[in-house]
Amino acid sequence: MLPIELLLKIVDHLADDPKPTKHLTNLSLTSRTFTAACQSHLFKELNLEGSRMEVPFKLKFLQDVVLDGNPSILNYVQSLRISFTWPLRMPFSDSEETHMRASPWLLNDPTFKRVLESLGSLPSPPKSLALSHVGGDVAQSSILSWIRHSFFPSSITKLELTNCDDAPMHIFLLLPHLKELVLNCTSTDFDIRKEQHRKELDSVVEEGTLGDFYTSHRIIRQLLRSIRDRHVRPLVDLSRLRILKVCPHEERGPEYWQRLINLSRETLEEIHLTYQPTNRWGDPCSVDWYFYTPLGTLINLSKTRNLRVLAFAISTWFKKGRPHLDVVGDITTVLASLTPPSMNLLTTLHLAITIYDSDPFPITHKQNWDGLCSEIIRLSCGRSNADAEARLEVEVDVTVWMLNCKVTKDWGPYDHIEQSLSPLREMDGLDYRITFPSEMVP
């Protein structure tokens, strides 16, 4: 009989697979020993996204297998993912283009209502809620009423809104325990300056995490505006923000990121930045045209006081005749803004850098690798006044994409990078790792 710790590690390893369902299902059938651990992963998320034909099949499974068969499975559910659209083929058209139609029909489905009632009666109801396509044709009043009369206000700590045309800002007021907010391509017509909207803002969302803002600058504007206006109680107490994950892609959004950092300078512990050249509409662009604002002009970390983790995921395009983007130098500029005491508290620095180049790799060689090395050494040395046993973990992942689509065995660019950063291996108090792909990426 294997130790229970080893059994759990086996299950967790299978759960990390990109498509774990088949492996976990087969393993759960081999022995009852694995059943509970596998089910905790298999039923961790209740996903009701899909087409108008797919979702009813999922509901039927819930009715037959879970509610009428084994209702204890619901104890494993930690998050709900719900979409209010389904693909619709346009009539009298030969086109294969699929269009989306929005509808809150799911809210009135008896099986869905029964599932929510069962989840709400659990000792530990789900704490994560993901909604997509809220707004537009979907009546906001129906969504808000549904949330208000469910178990969500007493349990939900994480809210994710995706592709919402007109997200109801009042949703934040209905979730008083909210700690994490993820906005992805979400907008709102709500204006906190309007008197009729001010009267409805009579609650405050508790402290927590704001994360993964992507092309959702209008909502961020309203969150910040609610803090500036002395006559309105804030939707979110940004001064107590701990983790910030931002994707400052669009031209209009970056102006808000520095304000978020300044407001939370005393409590902010983690910053994750994902940045790449985009067009003016926030979409990742081709090599023919790009819009890039240097991060060094957008982000300054000098006012942070408790920063522990700093992560960058950044990439650059190269096009003959276009200016070279020194993204490594850009990262170096942001790191240079770190001053004591924040630099003394930093424990993790992760850099994921993608460079689009062509033989003989002029862009890769012109990146400021030496400057990056010097800046990391400065941060490491700055920790001398901190805990002597604490170490700075630095992980660098670099990928060079071949724009000329010719696979080469020339590892010159990677050799140059490794040589430039080699002094980091000799630093005391520094755990340094650098990784490259196993082969050149065409």
- Residue, of 24 and 231, whose pLDDT is higher: 24
Q: Which pLDDT score is estimated for 368?
A: 92
Q: Work out the average pLDDT over 298-324.
A: 78
What proportions of the chain, in percent to the nearest 5, are helix, strand and coil? 40, 20, 40
Nearest to 182 by CA among 217, 147, 155, 209: 209
Instruction: Considering only residues 4 and 291, tell me which one the structure prediction assigns the higher pLDDT.
Output: 4
What digits encode the pLDDT tens for the residues 247-264? 755 445 556 778 788 888
Q: For the ranges 102-111, 188-197, 213-222, 363-372, which has the lowest average pLDDT?
A: 188-197
Dihedral sign from CA coordinates of 435, 438, 440, 441? negative
To 5 degrees, how large is the angle CA 74–CA 79–CA 85?
105
- pLDDT value, residue 99: 41
User: Is residue 155 over pLDDT 90?
Assistant: yes
User: Could you please report the per-residue DSSP string of 229-296?
Assistant: -TTS--SB-GGG--EEEE---STTSGGGHHHHHHHTTTT--EEEEEE--B-TTS-B--TT--B---GG
Residue-level pLDDT at 145: 84
The whole-number pLDDT of residue 394 equals 93
Q: 239 pLDDT exceeds 90?
A: no
Q: Which of 156-160, 188-192, 201-205, 348-352 has the lowest mean pLDDT?
A: 201-205
One-letter amino acid of 416: H
Whether pLDDT at 34 is above 50: yes
Mean pLDDT score, 298-319? 83
Residue 168: per-residue pLDDT? 72
Local structure of 203: helix, strand or coil: coil
- Placement of tokens 């002395």 in the chain: 230
Amino acid 119: pLDDT? 92
Q: What's the pLDDT at 196?
A: 41
CA 170 to chain centre: 22
- Give the pLDDT of residue 279: 43
- Whole-angstrom distance, CA of residue 375 vs CA of residue 386: 18
The end-to-end CA distance of the chain, in Å, is 48
The mean-pLDDT minimum among 29-38, 293-302, 310-319 falls in 29-38
Q: Please, what sign has the CA dihedral across residues 273, 376, 428, 268?
A: negative
Q: Per-residue DSSP letters for 58-96?
A: HHHHIIIIIITT-GGGGGG--EEEEE-EEEEEPTT----
- Which of the four pLDDT bands, split at 50, 70 and 90, describes residue 236? low
Please tell me the predicted confidence (pLDDT) of residue 69.
Answer: 83
Q: Are 359 and 410 in contact (CB under 8 A)?
A: yes
In angstroms, the CA 430 to CA 379 distance is 10
For residues 19-44, average pLDDT? 71
**pLDDT score of 413:** 82
pLDDT of residue 361: 80
pLDDT mean over 35-58: 80
- Residue 332 is predicted with a pLDDT of 94
Tokens of 41: 């992963």
The secondary element (H helix, E strand) that includes residue 379 is helix 369-381
Average pLDDT, the chain: 73
CB 49 within 8 A of CB 28: no
Q: How far apart are CA 174 and CA 245, in angstroms?
A: 23
Question: Two tokens at 373?
Answer: 């090395």
pLDDT on residue 215: 45
Distance CA 173, CA 201 (A): 7
Percent of the chain whose predicted confidence (pLDDT) is above 90: 18
pLDDT higher than threshold 50 for residue 227? no
Contact of 358 with 398, CB cutoff 8 Å: no
Q: Which two tokens stand for residue 260?
A: 């978020």
Q: How confident is the model at residue 283 (pLDDT cuts 50, 70, 90)?
A: very low
The better pLDDT of the pair 230, 361 is held by: 361
As to burial, measured by CB atoms within 10 angstroms (0-12 exposed, 13-18 middle, 19+ buried), residue 143 is buried
Q: Which of 13-27, 178-192, 284-298, 420-434 has the least mean pLDDT?
A: 284-298
The CB-side HSE value for 314 (13 A sphere, CA atoms) comes to 24
Q: Is 26 helix (H, G, I), strand (E, B) or coil?
A: helix
Tell me what pLDDT residue 92 has: 37
